[in-house]
Structure 1
Amino acid sequence: MKKAENIILGISIGDLNGIGGEIVLRTFEDARILDFCTPVIFASAKAMNFFKTHFNSAIHFHNINNISQLALGKINVLNCWNTPVKIEFGKEDPKIGEYAIKSLESATNALKKNEIDVLVTAPINKHNIQSEDFKFPGHTDYLAQELEGESLMFMVTESLRVGLLTDHVPVKDIVEHISEDLIVKKINTVYDSLKRDFKVGKPKIAVLGINPHTGDNGVIGSEDDNVLRPTLKKIREDGKLVFGPYAADSFFGSSNYKNFDAIIATYHDQGLIPFKTLSFGQGVNFTAGLNKVRTSPDHGTAYEIAGKGEADPSSFKEAVFTAMHIYKNRIDYEELTANPLKKANK
């Protein structure tokens, strides 16, 4: 890994009919961000100029056809296609989905080749990206295949971090997916990420129950008693500060979440409903556990406001700064683990 200066920040443009183009524009209209990174938007000059004109932006792009033409300190647009694209804000369009995948695949390939340092993904439509060649429910699953490591959806803010045992799994199938191996793997991923990506020395992790009231001693399901509790006990015996299972219905309302460095929910809505309620617009979706850094905003394409100039770029901007922050933390972590005396002498 290189030094933290001049971070090359890749951006996949997402669904062109959504709010992705607008939040990218609004984020980088603040030229101060260029003091911290050099952005590379994987899209096309024609598409980005369309957004620039539509939203009356004074932003300046440096158009390139390959990464070797990148200009440090400028907003680079790497042409992933040269054909005209009909952008119709708010419309779900399979053709637009194809361009979203072109952008994502090109950006991911650059990430794998170390041509960019981190990746921030603008929102996609999970339905219109599906094809014979792309059958993933979202970014996380695709990146898990393309990059090394054990991926985990980790929703983060400065004061709240929520990881998931299962993410894009139908509710009726959740219990079938939860096993001792999965619990151990996901908790280890969160634990390692807290240390490596967030500089938490001794992580303290809470785990939410699978069933209401964590099963009420088997009255409302046996999975908490038969799978979750014994697995957490084994993990604690290994020296990790892992607590639970906690009843999910009262955990956030009682502010108990403030006592932990991270919370692990057993399924998507159990974790993301309270997370987005507490931090919507400031949250970041971070794919923890991979050998590369990827973040995204905590919202979707927002077709209902696309093209109206109403999109809030706050979460995307947070995703940009979080990606850079984690990248720098990983550099520090690698330096410290390679030279433990450096930490002892601080």
Structure 2
Amino acid sequence: MSEPSVSVLEASAEATAPPPAPAGGRSLVATAWLRIRRSKIAMLSLAVVVAIVLFAILAPWLTALSGNNPFTSNTSPEVLDDLETPGLPLPGYMFPSAQHWLGVEPALGRDLFSRLAYGAQVSLTIALLSTAVSVVLGTVIGAAAGYFGGRVDAVISRIMDLFLAFPHLLLVLSLTPILQSRLRGTPLGEGSFLPMASLVIILGFFGWAYLARIVRGQVLSLREREFVEAARAFGASHASILFRQIIPNVMGVVLVYATMLIPTNISAEAALSFLGVGVKDPTPSWGQMLNAAQAGNWYLSDPWFLAVPGIMLAVTVLAFNLLGDAVRDALDPKAARG
């Protein structure tokens, strides 16, 4: 559960905020999009990310089209009665076929394609929501620390240091079961929402400090700029200056951080579900599927069961990381403009 590199993000922040006026009348967004379009790797990673997001959104329709769902066990004799390896599907069902597009899982015989699609929905939902929580907290808290300075900055900075000093994986592993027990009996603790809500809260709450430190550094310089002084002279409130003048000028680095944090949270959710404190069966997620593959040692007799979620997870994280690198480079005003 590593966080995006602070040094890389600080360098990106220095390059992206506040952006200078773009050359030739072209806006910063238009220039960034032009750079992304010129990069084959960026466009390929963007296409993969869009495809994965659509795969998750269209999961109910895709699984209906395949004629299967992620929860129905297929225990018919022709699927599961392999006498040599009890519980292992016959070769015709172990791998992709017209009936089961990615085969079926051992023992329960549930359709792998359906579980992968709904697993994408669960994993991406947790990653996106936890990233949103971290981004909102980090942006607001970091901006407040840099803008007000003094004791406010000192207190917030010490809290940031405390969050950055703790080993996140151990904290999350310890706190997730406690939070899940506290959420039971609440609207967030109903059924399959319980592990998802707990992971969003935990990952979001422990992911804001890196961004807050970077935003704070940017705001320390922005608060002395002429447009902030002009806003004060016209009687603008602190809240107005923060949310209408300062925060919009750090959105470049916030966007870069968000694109880097999404794959981090995808990996974190998979790791926690794999370790048994995240999403649990029968709710599908990529980490839970990996956990099921190793729990019964199925990766030895049916490696395809492990390969399907493993490849999907690796491709998704790689695509988001490459897209994040492309966004960072595209928002760098020091790069040559096209």
Q: TM (normalized to structure 1)? A: 0.25
Structure number with the bigger relative contact order (C-alpha 8 A, sep ≥ 6) is: 2
Larger Rg: 2
Q: TM (normalized to structure 2)? A: 0.25
> Which protein has the bigger helix share?
2
